[in-house]
Amino acid sequence: MRTIKCLMVFLLVTGVAFAAETAGTKKIFTATVDSSGVQRVEITGGEYYFDPNYIIVKKDFPVEFVVKRLSGVIPIPHDIAIEAPEAGINFREDMPKEPKVIRFTPTKAGKYEITCDKKFLFFESHKEKGMHGMLEVVE
């Protein structure tokens, strides 16, 4: 029981420290269409952020998100989700240690939220801790 308490305090402290470090930092990535016609974006998930967290892609060109999570001392699970079926984007996928490809083709310009909704016990969700971002689809 003592070990569990220590672990929880550790997670809480490190979570707060990392959140403070990365909160409010906007990392913008503008995707380009490569020779195979695909817009490839590499995204890393950590405590508690996406890097990059503001992604700009072109409408009607296929997108590939290559996602992975950082493997820290304590493996904290992360997922990545965008729920915008009206724009042809609707997925929720775990972020593994090894890169994983998520494919979609955005069909409507706009801004769509990227979130991780993992949550540890009664703590805030990862989204609340700052693990969210924005996908901007442009014409």
Contacting residues toward Cu ion, per CB under 5 A: 78, 116, 118, 126, 131
CB 39 within 8 A of CB 56: no
Helix (H, G, I), strand (E, B) or coil at 22: helix
Shortest Å distance, C-beta 134 to Cu ion: 16
Shortest Å distance, C-beta 90 to Cu ion: 19
Shortest Å distance, C-beta 117 to Cu ion: 8
- Residue placing its CB nearer to Cu ion in the complex, 67 or 116: 116
Q: How distant is the alpha carbon of residue 120 from its chain centre? A: 17
- Residue placing its CB nearer to Cu ion in the complex, 57 or 78: 78
Question: CA 16, 41, 95, 82 torsion: positive or negative?
Answer: positive
- Residue placing its CB nearer to Cu ion in the complex, 58 or 100: 100
Strands 89-94 and 79-84: antiparallel
